[in-house]
Chain A
């Protein structure tokens, strides 16, 4: 082995091993942070990126901190971190749509609408995403909706069909009137529950109220006062319970309609990841 080769080997190998040894060097901290981030251990990844940023300026690390906060649903810190992304950064455009997502999740309505409109008017590459998120949020939170065709324009054809159905549900929710349910049950016991599609309870209420009324009547007719009053009390209990139960049943029915509507739209938004871009940080 010549001296040249020997020195060459030492020169090449020493820095390689040297780098491996200092596991707290900025480069290794970043490597470890990236590993934690891709392992979905976001809280620890954030700590490591923060350590790394104390010595190195890196807007990707900054962005990952913000994204980490967003992914663990700490929207307040996510907003703070995304807002610190400089507009000269390559990730600035993405950060704006992420801010919009965080605002949407933290229910900051006025700031959300302001930023959404800014993004839509700015003609950025994510204008359409902002428009989609805005429209879905309007559908979820507002009572007044724009025209259906105009509303569906930014969406892809599959989503148009689904959101078209939600739009119709928002305009004409299939609610049941509590008053109607109560009055129906007051006239014909159980009919209010049948109106609210609670068929089993409706039929039971009808049969039991009818039965106790009949038994009370026939006992009084045959001068069995005590049993007559007992059946009256039972019948009255079932009758009152049936009217009250029908109103409650209508309330439950309407709550289910609202729940299914909101849950369906939230699942849609989660499925679309709030129209934020996909990242290749962990490839």
Chain B
């Protein structure tokens, strides 16, 4: 009788525990459904509820990943990274560890903490456990370079092992369109206004050239007429002002144009590129 009672007791306990486990599974399914429907605020609430009652941390990894993804979808990158880190801590195998780190790197790319993303990806790259995932890691390293505005380096990475030729071609075309900031700046040192002409700002270039010719003439004229002090002051306060302004202006135009080019490319990547994005 005692033996039978013990058995019944164990059966009851196991049944109740399974019931509890089933409740948590149902809760996970419900939260997941909300996540799939794009109801991220509610999904986070339900995943947090699941975590609160999941005393044995059965769903710790999945719930942390999905909370992180929900925050990421809502552009709450700091919170997303916090939950991806928690997922990394609760990962039970190499695959989960790898996935949580990749998500962390991708969020860092979007958050523009690119050096953090680079560090995470490089750590995964040197880890022999993830040798088979080299292509995936390099793919995100390429994206990180895009967000660092290093289009040429990004194109090289995408070309390696034919990772993504579409992205590689896009990066090359963006890099070709880019203006050389140094050329714009230093060419304006040689011929004032040249950098502005190079970036297509013809009116500004012409004005720069005119002001420099005028101030230069006044300076030279002062020295010719033995008005040395006048010459020094004119050179210092007029000519140098226009001369240095001209080089700074040329540099500014090149940077501005490059920003427009890279923003246009990023806009294309965000809305029209079909492949995987950070």
Contacts and interface: CB of A to CB of B under 8 A. Distances in A.
Contact of A17 (B19, B49, B233): B19
Given A20-B53, A219-B230, A1 B27 contact: no
A44 B13 CA distance: 34
Interface string A14-58: 100110111100001001100110000100100110000000000
A13 B237 contact: no
Interface stretch (A2-10, A123-131, A256-264): A2-10
A232 B230 CA distance: 13
Given A17-B19, A20-B20, A227 B12 contact: no
Interface residues of B, number: 31
Contacts of B5: 1, 3, 6
Given A20-B53, A23-B27, A44-B45, A10 B12 contact: yes
A14 B230 contact: no
Contact of A21 (B12, B19, B222): B19
A75 to B, nearest CB: 22
A272 interface: no
Interface string A89-118: 000000000000000000000000000000
B48 A9 contact: no
B9 A35 contact: no
Contacts of B238: 230, 234
Contact of B20 (A21, A47, A224): A21
Interface in B1-32: 1-2, 5-6, 8-9, 12-13, 16-17, 19-20, 23, 27
B230 A215 contact: yes
B16 A227 contact: no
B109 to A, nearest CB: 26
Interface residues of A, number: 31
Contacts of A208: 237
A227 B19 contact: no
Contacts, number: 69
B52 interface: yes
Contacts of B23: 21-23
B48 A36 contact: yes
Nearest to A14: B16
A11 to B, nearest CB: 11
A230 B229 CA distance: 15
B225 interface: yes
Interface in B231-272: 233-234, 237-238
Given A10-B12, A32-B48, 19 more contacts: A1-B2, A1-B6, A6-B5, A13-B13, A13-B16, A14-B16, A17-B17, A17-B19, A23-B23, A32-B53, A215-B230, A215-B233, A219-B227, A219-B230, A222-B227, A224-B225, A224-B230, A227-B218, A234-B237
Interface of B: 1-2, 5-6, 8-9, 12-13, 16-17, 19-20, 23, 27, 44-45, 48-49, 52-53, 218, 221-222, 225, 227, 229-230, 233-234, 237-238
6 contacts: A1-B6, A6-B8, A36-B48, A44-B44, A215-B229, A230-B234
